[in-house]
Amino acid sequence: MIRDWHLPALMAAAVLASALATGFSQPSVSATGQPATSVRSLAAPADFAHIADPKARSAAYFTELGKVLTNPRCTNCHPATDRPRQGDEARLHQPPVFRGVDGFGLETLRCNACHGKANFDPARMPGHEAWHLAPAEMAWEGKTVSQICEQIKDPKRNGNRTLADLVEHIGKDTLVGWAWHPGPGRTPLPGTQEEAGALVEAWAESGAYCP
Amino acid sequence: MKWSAAGGIALSLSRFAGAQTPSFLDRETLPGQGVAHPSAGRVDGVAKVTGAKLYASDFRAVDLPGWPSDTHHALLLRAPDATHVYEGLALDGLAADARPQVVVTAEEVARIGVRVPAFYEGDLFCPIGKTPLYLGQPVALLLFATFDAYDRARVFLRDNAHLRFGAETGPVAGGNYGAFRFTRVAGASPEAPDVYSPIQEGWIRPGFFEGSGRPVWEPLPVAEGGDYVKGARFGEQIRAELDKPGAGTLVLDRRFETQSIDPMFLEPETGLAWYEPGAKKLEILLGVQSPFEAAEALAHLLGEAAADFRPARIDAQFCYVGGGFGGRDHTPFPLYMALAALFFPGKPVRLAHDRFQQFQGGIKRHAFKMRSRIGIDRASGLMTAFAADHELDGGGLANYSPSVAVVGATAAIGMYDVPKVDVTTVALHSRGVTAGSMRGYGTLQTMTALEVLVDEAAAALPIDPIELRRRNALKVGGRTMTGNPYSVSVRAPEILDKLDAHAIWRDRAAQKARARPGVLVGTGVACASKDYGTGADCSLGSVSIDAEGRIAIHSDAVEMGNGIGTALANRVAGHLGGRADAVTVAQVDVFDELELIKSGDPYSITQEEQDKAAANPRWVPEISSATSASIGAHVGTHAAAEAARVLFRFGLWPAALAIWGIAAHDPRAKQHAEAYWQGETLVMSGLSPLPLKAIAAKLHAMGGVTGAMAHAFSRWAWAQATFDIGGDEWTADIDALALRRGAGGFERLDRRAVAFPPADYNRIGTSFSSMCGTVVRIEIERATGKLTIAKAYSVLECGQALVPEIVLGQSQGGFAMGVGYALLENLPLYEDGPGNGQWNLGRYVVARASDLPLHDLEVEILPPLSPREPPKGMAEVVMIPVVPALINAICDATGHRFQSLPVTPEMIKGVLA
Amino acid sequence: MTALSLTINGRAIGPIEVRDDLSMNDFLREVLGMTGTKFGCGAAQCLSCAVIVDEDGVSSTRPTCIAPAVDFDGLSIRTVEGHAAGGALTPLQVSFIEHFAFQCGYCTPGFLNEGQVLLERLARDPIPRAELERTITEALDGHLCRCSGYVKYHEAVRAVVLADAGRYLT
């Protein structure tokens, strides 16, 4: 039998993914931390068909989407302060970096000084060509799903986006999409970006009610 | 050099005659003759700001003349599990272009017959079928032909499980690494002899329960001999008194826990080695704090190996070190480096930790659990009794655990004079990463607990915290808890007065009252008295001068940032006028002419054995020791300074007399002590000043003494010997001497008489100590628990500061490391900790500039008591009071006295809620 | 594999075929043997590996341990080996030495590059004297040093600025 080493929780998914990809003979990659299936998937809009009340169903879509929005992959860069967080345990970003005037960091340490155009897996370095912080008014860190829901509908606090824009942002934006492919050492968001997009769309079309 | 090293393998450093490529020694000789450099600054300054190759991690085979040009690469795989049976490697996931050429495991190593040095006892590699002894225990060395293959494998194996484990066994049980009891009962008056002390009676160890390995602290007959029972009875008496104190005595009983941390030196451990099977020569290049030990360990490792794996000669070369802090003193890394080379014959191999691997395999600071009880007479504020029990988590290998336990225990009453003391300590084996030497060496932990306790006692009595310390501070001539007095200056009153008078302390109430809304302000103070030296400290040094007046210095001390090279240059310049422009450090093999031999263990030798051995004029108790224990200034520069004294007295001085035309019978010929240097000019009243260059030219023309080489040994006092130098008797704090005349080679002189410090000085806990006190003012943001250090002041004494700028720099660095230990750094001990191979900076947080009061940190270095007070070690003591001062300040601000480290904003926020 | 060409300390290097997953740090240290640029953490945490990148007349630093070498294709960079042109130390190098800024020196290349970039920025865009300390702290804060406690590094950078205040300060 091949047993996995005791990886911290954040490594579990990455190891699982790469183990499958490389054909490692591992029947029981059972890392400490969350059970793989429950956090790794997102329900589809159809899964909520049993909810009769349309408002409740709409809110339920958002609650499901909340698994994504409150995940450290999202909240780390939608921080409550000017300093982002890092890693599955959402520790304060090291080295200390700050929002700066444009969300791309202070002049002395810009985001792209370290974050390249794409992930650099040999160094577990995440990257994207537009790596930056969400604006301060879009801070999600520490908020409940309900609070985020009210906030995300408010054009003053969502970057002046329409509901359709939100479907596009969450369902298609490539920086958002990074969070499903964060590279080794980080747990991806549950489900897929398409599934998340479908939830936003269902929520928007059903009146965008908040939980 | 003919060492009595095990295995009979010749150990040396060959000097390469480099053509285009500079030799290793040329690169490491600084600043280098003819190199332009600013007049101020470190001797390694220019090299370090221009990116010169200096560190072990800088060298590749191509950089070393005579080596094959290609560098091969080794990867050390370690077990991230220490509770299941190891069943072997599963490297099938490695792509074809990432496969090793050679895989070395326990099986291969067993086959060639290596011997693990006693200090590193334990399987070098976990054999199949055994549960790893500790998290991070090596299981295999993979040897790769190319960097690319190595690099691909390193990344893949970091991110993918590659070891097979079977049945769960739980952690491997191991015996304790050491248990000791230090008990002292003072006599009725300070002058009276102690009723009982370790110095008088010897050190005592308890017996152990069969099976569990736990010490038996009670004075039961199972203990080792009767000695234990006597000491333990005194100890139990002290505890009984603390259990039932009278109304006039305050007793506090507290527990304190400290965490495991990493030294986090910036250059991960790295080496380069090449085994040439034809010549049976192993060349190895390393960066360690203990070069002599590393070379000896390699010789022992391979001394009885199979013919193909037993070098006839090991050439070990030691580099500048990118940070040490103790964590590079006696590490097993060199053993793996050597094995990598031996299993890849003919090929230069590089073994270099990345940071994940350094966290997984590097030496850690011991986590301590402590229970301390203190009794204080309420009326006088005098401490009457102290009892403590310490438990250290030693991790997987013994390493320095017994020693750290002892040093921590004997520091348990810090700077105080307590008439009744009973401290037990035990270092435990665990499945954690091995703990060993790190700056503070047990005393950081025990003095933090003590200074937090003393602060609480001051509040409880109540007595002003500085006044309580003043009343109880050990006085000059007072006895430490092992029963001996310090043999160096003791300056507690001055330190305390400085702290008391400082504005941060004076203004503490006003500052607290003036706190901004939402902010809590607190002020804390603490002191430490920290030993330096180990009780068997050695120094090797040589100084020579050429006909141009250029000075060259060799030393065995290691430059790890401590400024030893600069300290050597400055100390020698005090005797010779000129500052050396060729300083080499970490040289253990350029002292062959002393023909030193050693036998026995300097820490446990008997007086009879020592007396017998000392009859041989080549014998010394130990040849070279690690650069650690804050001995750089005091010990590291000592032999070179003594060599410089000889060179002046028997070389430059006679040459100066010759220039002045002063005959031997002229009374002025004896007045060498009255001459002094003004820059590079020798001044003697009534005579014309002489430039060093002119004296040196004359000296060489005369064929006089142009170089001196010396060895010194200290066991809490220097060994002293007398030599006959050209008919003059010369007695100095050295035990071996060689001289060079003119352009000749060094020739050793037999000592005529020698006095080594008595063997029973080994019962001394410490006799050298420096003091430091710190006061800090902090601000805590109520809403978040965020702590900011507003102002800080540290005051220390260290005798003569050889390089005041470096003493200051060490103090500032010690402050930063103290802040990290108190507030930031933390490693879980076991499965979630660094042994799992997934730790790096980011998750592990050390202090940055923004965590520190860069422009509000004041450091005061007390001037030496007299111009002749020798330098004292200070690199450790400056870190210690910072930690309890912060904890005490947090208590002042919040009312909560934390009893564990680190104290995080979340914890502070928690107690404010 | 990708062909990589770049300018290092004013010298054209390449084209050299490199693996796409070779880090810039390993390109400098293992391929070119330029070990003045250090490896500390491999995770952009200590910045001892940072080099200067010159783009459009503006310099900035970038860590090399977390970036593929191929990302530097076509760029012009400076490393610690390139500061002292013709053997003459720069004012910042001299100031580091005279202030005893470093101890073990392993983080020095990163601090030197960052400090140099700051000086070049201030020369372009001077700041008021009152903002100097904060500006230095912000500029250097990404760099870890375990020996010095940072004080002397900051003093050394400040001294260079104050010695030529007309150039760096408004």
pLDDT of residue C141 exceeding 80? yes
pLDDT-based confidence at residue C86 (cuts at 50, 70, 90): confident
pLDDT of residue B12 exceeding 60? no
Question: Comparing B600 with B260, which gets the higher pLDDT?
Answer: B260
Q: Give the pLDDT score at B222.
A: 53
pLDDT of residue B657 exceeding 60? yes
Hey, is the C-beta of C137 within 8 angstroms of any chain A C-beta? Answer: no
DSSP states along chain C: -EEEEEEETTEEEEEEEE-TT-BHHHIIIIIS--TTS--S-SSSSS-TT-EEEEETTEEEEE-STTSBGGGGTT-EEE-GGGSSGGGPPPHHHHHHHHTT--SS-TTHHHHHHHHHHHHHHHHHS-B-GGGHHHHHHHHHTT---SSS-SHHHHHHHHHHHHHTHHHHB-
Residue whose tokens read 């070049």: C120
Taking CA–CA distances from A112, the nearest residue in chain C reads: C62
Q: Taking residues C62-71, what's their average pLDDT?
A: 97
- What pLDDT, in 10s, does the model give residues B720-735? 999 999 999 999 999 9
Hey, is the C-beta of C105 within 8 angstroms of any chain B C-beta? Answer: yes
CA C150 to chain CA centroid, Å, is: 16
Collect all residues of chain C within an 8 Å Cβ-Cβ radius of residue B814. 149
Does residue A36 contact residue A12 with C-beta atoms inside 8 Å?
Answer: yes
CA distance B462 to B468: 9
pLDDT-based confidence at residue A30 (cuts at 50, 70, 90): very low
The pair of three-digit structure tokens given for residue B907, joined into one six-digit string: 């914890």
Are residues B792 and B774 located together in one domain of the fold?
A: yes
Does residue C59 contact residue C155 with C-beta atoms inside 8 Å?
Answer: no
Nearest beta carbon to residue C60 from set A113, A122, A123: A113
CA triplet B74, B80, B82: central angle to 5 degrees? Answer: 125
Question: Comparing A110 with A27, which gets the higher pLDDT?
Answer: A110
Which CATH number is B375's domain given?
A: 3.30.365.10
CA distance C138 to A95: 11
Q: Give the pLDDT score at A13.
A: 38
Nearest beta carbon to residue A25 from set B81, B92, B845: B92
- What pLDDT, in 10s, does the model give residues C2-27? 999 999 999 999 999 999 999 999 99
The nearest CA of chain A is from the CA of B359 a distance in Å of 15
CA distance C64 to C35: 12
- What pLDDT, in 10s, does the model give residues B820-846? 999 999 999 999 999 999 999 999 999
The nearest CA of chain C is from the CA of B883 a distance in Å of 15
Which 3 state secondary structure label does DSSP give B910? helix
The pair of three-digit structure tokens given for residue A70, joined into one six-digit string: 């409150």
Are residues B773 and B752 located together in one domain of the fold?
A: no
pLDDT of residue A51 exceeding 60? yes
Q: Give the pLDDT score at B395.
A: 97
Residue whose tokens read 């009453």: B413
**Neighbouring-strand partners of residue A106:** A109
CATH architecture, domain C85-168: Orthogonal Bundle (1.10)
pLDDT of residue A6 exceeding 50? no
- Burial pattern A170-184, b for ≥16 Cβ within 10 A else e, equals bbeeeebbbbbbbbb
- Decide if B862 is inside a domain: yes
The nearest CA of chain C is from the CA of B152 a distance in Å of 9
Q: Give the pLDDT score at B207.
A: 79
Q: Give the pLDDT score at B212.
A: 62
Q: Taking residues C144-165, what's their average pLDDT?
A: 98
Does residue B588 contact residue B39 with C-beta atoms inside 8 Å?
Answer: no
CA B740 to chain CA centroid, Å, is: 33
Does residue B325 come out as left (phi exceeding 0), alpha (psi in the -120 to 50 range) or beta?
A: left
Other beta carbons within 10 angstroms of residue B465's beta carbon come to 28
The pair of three-digit structure tokens given for residue A196, joined into one six-digit string: 């998340």
Are residues B101 and B181 located together in one domain of the fold?
A: no
The pair of three-digit structure tokens given for residue A156, joined into one six-digit string: 């003053």
- Decide if B38 is inside a domain: no
CA distance C145 to C48: 9
- What pLDDT, in 10s, does the model give residues B787-823? 999 999 999 999 999 999 999 999 999 999 999 999 9
pLDDT-based confidence at residue B649 (cuts at 50, 70, 90): very high
The full length of chain C comes to 170
Q: Taking residues B565-594, what's their average pLDDT?
A: 93
Is the link from the previous residue into B757 a cis peptide, with omega within 30 of 0?
no
- The Cβ-side half-sphere exposure at B470, using a 13 Å CA radius, reads 13
Q: Taking residues B529-556, what's their average pLDDT?
A: 95
* Residue boundaries of the structural domains of chain C: 2-82, 85-168
pLDDT-based confidence at residue A199 (cuts at 50, 70, 90): very high
Q: How many CB pairs under 8 A join A and B?
A: 82
pLDDT of residue B782 exceeding 50? yes
* Residue boundaries of the structural domains of chain A: 1-40, 42-205
The nearest CA of chain C is from the CA of B158 a distance in Å of 13
Hey, is the C-beta of C44 within 8 angstroms of any chain A C-beta? Answer: yes
Are residues B621 and B723 located together in one domain of the fold?
A: yes
**B151–C26 C-beta distance less than 8 A:** yes
Does residue B778 contact residue B521 with C-beta atoms inside 8 Å?
Answer: yes
C-alpha dihedral (A85, A89, A94, A98), degrees to nearest 10:
10
Taking CA–CA distances from C143, the nearest residue in chain A reads: A95
Last residue of a domain, one of B763, B781, B800: B763
Which CATH number is B310's domain given?
A: 3.90.1170.30
Mean pLDDT for chain B?
Answer: 94
Q: Taking residues C101-128, what's their average pLDDT?
A: 98
Q: Give the pLDDT score at B35.
A: 77
Taking CA–CA distances from C47, the nearest residue in chain A reads: A95
DSSP states along B46-105: HHHHTT-S-BGGG--GGGSTTS-S--EEEEEEE-S-SSEEEEEE--TTS-GGG--SEEEE
Residue B494: domain span? 487-532+768-913
Collect all residues of chain B within an 8 Å Cβ-Cβ radius of residue A8. 832, 836, 838
Are residues B805 and B906 located together in one domain of the fold?
A: yes
**A117–C23 C-beta distance less than 8 A:** no
CA distance B268 to B331: 12
Residue whose tokens read 């006061």: B775
**Total number of domains constituting chain B:** 4
List all residues of chain B from 799 to 828 with a beta carbon under 8 Å from chain A: none
pLDDT-based confidence at residue B4 (cuts at 50, 70, 90): very low
- Decide if B29 is inside a domain: no
The pair of three-digit structure tokens given for residue B309, joined into one six-digit string: 């794996």
Are residues B579 and B650 located together in one domain of the fold?
A: yes
Q: Taking residues B337-353, what's their average pLDDT?
A: 98
- The Cβ-side half-sphere exposure at B570, using a 13 Å CA radius, reads 20
Collect all residues of chain A within an 8 Å Cβ-Cβ radius of residue B831. 6, 32
DSSP state of B740: E
Q: Give the pLDDT score at B17.
A: 33
pLDDT of residue B783 exceeding 50? yes
Q: Give the pLDDT score at B820.
A: 98
Collect all residues of chain A within an 8 Å Cβ-Cβ radius of residue C142. 95-97, 108-109
Are residues B547 and B646 located together in one domain of the fold?
A: yes
Q: Give the pLDDT score at B359.
A: 98
- What pLDDT, in 10s, does the model give residues B45-98? 999 999 999 999 999 999 999 999 999 999 999 999 999 999 999 999 999 999
Question: Comparing B224 with A18, which gets the higher pLDDT?
Answer: B224
List all residues of chain B from 762 to 821 with a beta carbon under 8 Å from chain C: 803, 805-806, 808-817
pLDDT-based confidence at residue B172 (cuts at 50, 70, 90): very high
Does residue B913 contact residue B833 with C-beta atoms inside 8 Å?
Answer: no
Other beta carbons within 10 angstroms of residue B209's beta carbon come to 12
List all residues of chain B from 33 to 72 with a beta carbon under 8 Å from chain C: 36-38, 40-42, 44-55, 57-60, 62-63
- Burial pattern A53-88, b for ≥16 Cβ within 10 A else e, equals eeeebbbbbbbbbbbbbbbbbbbbbbbeeeebbbbb
Q: Taking residues B392-404, what's their average pLDDT?
A: 96
Q: Taking residues B674-702, what's their average pLDDT?
A: 96
% of residues, chain B, pLDDT over 90: 88
pLDDT of residue B223 exceeding 60? no
CA distance B625 to B290: 7
CATH 3.10.20.30 fits C2-82, yes or no: yes
